[in-house]
Chain A
Amino acid sequence: MSAGAVRVRLSVNGESHEIEVEPRTLLVHALRDSIGLTGTNVGCDTSSCGACTILVDGRSAKSCTMLAVQAEGSEIVTIEGLAATSDGDGLHPMQEAFHECHGLQCGYCTPGMILASVSLVDEYPDLDDKKVREGLEGNLCRCTGYHNIVRAVLTAAGKEA
């Protein structure tokens, strides 16, 4: 154990991982570098873009704005584990909707966008176009494909766009 490192037990996508990190390690870096789950991206590193969004106990959170040590005891879901949280053996319905509606271009924002959208649909049952746009305000798409992203979220929510 290197100087200053602590042992942290993280539950990620239903699997328990024991890692050694410094307390200052951001959760996104623990996920990517210690656990090897590189589907969670870093866009801005300043809490603004949402590329690093994951689910913590079922709700969206920016993993660049959490310490890995803060997440001990919580259930984390990253894009790699999302499909397994839904019934059936294919993609999660939100992933399916992004695919069907062409809700991605380069794909950089997509993992965060999809996890923020899963949380949004779960949290706000009466979504419409405006509420999806406001609800995803913390997730930026530099390809600016917002129109299809909103369509995908409404489709997955069963509120056909």
Chain B
Amino acid sequence: MIPAAFDYVRAGSAEEALAALAEHGDEAKLMAGGHSLIPLMRFRLVTPGVVVDVGNIDGDLRGIRVDGDVVRIGALTRHSELEHSTDLAASCPLLAHVASVVGDPSVRHRGTLGGSLAHADPASDLPAAILALGGSLVARGPGGEREIAASDFFTGFLESALAPDELLTEVRVPVSTGGWNYQKFNRRAQDWAIVAVAVSDGGKGVSLVNMGSTPLRATAVEEAVAGGASAAEAAAHAADGTTPPEDLNGDADYRSHLARVLTERALNAAGLA
């Protein structure tokens, strides 16, 4: 399986990447780690005319900086860098942990945080972490930079609020060291989650993986926790308003059941009785 032919542009900077996007318009597709894009291109589900490779851009687009009560992460930071960062483990342990359970080590060496978010797959782990943390994403385009709240970013199946001529440059999450947990349910360690639940700050932020067409915030659970509910009471609302996918791993009822069980476990582990 070999991708359809395309032209290749290696961008040396964010400016070069934006210029290439502007020049090639709809034909162009950004590539960071390529670990979502290349599999899709091999199946020819995606056939860009021009691939703009941003994977070698360094500087501000890569790395983790704790800046007061905000953690700023370059969009091109790889999963394995998040996993091993002592700064991130101290300032936002949920995100460091979630990065460590993505795929297998070889995937984590190549995949990037920005790529995982821009890909907007409801089965992915990192979008759920950023949602539960109440993070935001910084996009740079021809008109300058804008900041998008994670809760406004995921607009549909594999669709995001990013415009085709925009580059994600940074991901921002609050410093968050309150009770947290991530429950990823799958059958083998490297697999995607059948369902997963992320909890931050003792239950203030709760999000769901693979429970709909986008990564989801479990707002009903968050509201119940804010209203003083117990973990069991709040978790009973985990599947409220969701439309879980059906596949070989399970039907919608099974996924709803998993969401409730995993949410209760995650809330308990995050310190809510």
Q: Which A residues are within 8 Å of any B CB, using their own CB?
A: 4, 6, 22-26, 29, 45-47, 50, 53, 56, 59-62, 65-67, 69-70, 72-73, 116, 119-120, 123, 133-139
How many residues in B have their beta carbons less than 8 Å from beta carbons of A?
32
CB distance from A150 to the nearest CB of B (A): 13
* Chain A CB within 8 A of B8 CB: yes
Give A56 to B1 CA distance when docked, in angstroms. 22
Report if A120-B105 is in contact (Cβ < 8 Å); known contacts: A47-B35, A66-B34.
yes
20 pairs, CB–CB < 8 Å, chain A vs chain B = A4-B7, A6-B8, A23-B7, A24-B6, A46-B1, A62-B106, A62-B110, A65-B35, A67-B8, A67-B38, A69-B10, A69-B53, A70-B34, A72-B10, A123-B105, A133-B189, A135-B104, A136-B104, A138-B105, A138-B107
CB-based contact A70/B190 at 8 Å: no
Give A134 to B108 CA distance when docked, in angstroms. 13
CB distance from B37 to the nearest CB of A (A): 10
CB distance from B166 to the nearest CB of A (A): 22
Give A45 to B107 CA distance when docked, in angstroms. 15
CB-based contact A70/B2 at 8 Å: no
CB-based contact A23/B6 at 8 Å: yes
CB-based contact B4/A138 at 8 Å: no
* Chain A CB within 8 A of B99 CB: no
Please classify the interface of chain A as helix (H, G, I), strand (E, B), loop, or mixed, using the class held by over half of its residues.
mixed
Give A53 to B5 CA distance when docked, in angstroms. 24
CB distance from A84 to the nearest CB of B (A): 22
Interface string of B156-186 (1 = CB under 8 A from A): 0000000000000000000000000000000
Give A56 to B106 CA distance when docked, in angstroms. 10
Interface string of B22-46 (1 = CB under 8 A from A): 0000000001001100110110000
Chain A residues in 8 Å Cβ range of B53:
69-70
CB distance from A6 to the nearest CB of B (A): 7
Chain A residues in 8 Å Cβ range of B146:
none
CB distance from B9 to the nearest CB of A (A): 9
CB-based contact A61/B51 at 8 Å: no
CB-based contact B34/A67 at 8 Å: yes
CB-based contact B39/A69 at 8 Å: no
CB distance from B256 to the nearest CB of A (A): 27
Contact of B38 among A29, A56, A65, A136 (CB under 8 A): A65
CB distance from B100 to the nearest CB of A (A): 10
CB distance from B206 to the nearest CB of A (A): 26
CB-based contact A137/B56 at 8 Å: no
Chain B residues in 8 Å Cβ range of A73:
56
Contact of A138 among B41, B42, B103 (CB under 8 A): B103
Report if A65-B2 is in contact (Cβ < 8 Å); known contacts: A23-B51, A45-B42, A138-B104.
no
CB-based contact B55/A70 at 8 Å: yes
CB-based contact A116/B39 at 8 Å: no
Closest to B103 in A: A138
CB-based contact A60/B105 at 8 Å: yes
Give A25 to B42 CA distance when docked, in angstroms. 11
Closest to A135 in B: B105
